[in-house]
Amino acid sequence: MPHSSAPAPVTITGFDHIVVNVSDVARSAGWYAAVLGAEIHTFDPGGGRPPRTSVVFGRNKINLRPAAADPADWFTARHAMAGSDDLCFLTEATPEAVVAHLGACGVEVVEGPVNRQGARGTLRSVYCRDPDGSLVEIASYQT
Enumerate the active-site residues: 137
Helix (H) or strand (E) holding 32: helix 25-36
Residues in the chain: 143
Burial bucket for residue 7 (CB in 10 Å: 0-12, 13-18, 19+)? exposed
- Angle among Cα 129, 130, 132 to the nearest 5 degrees reads 105
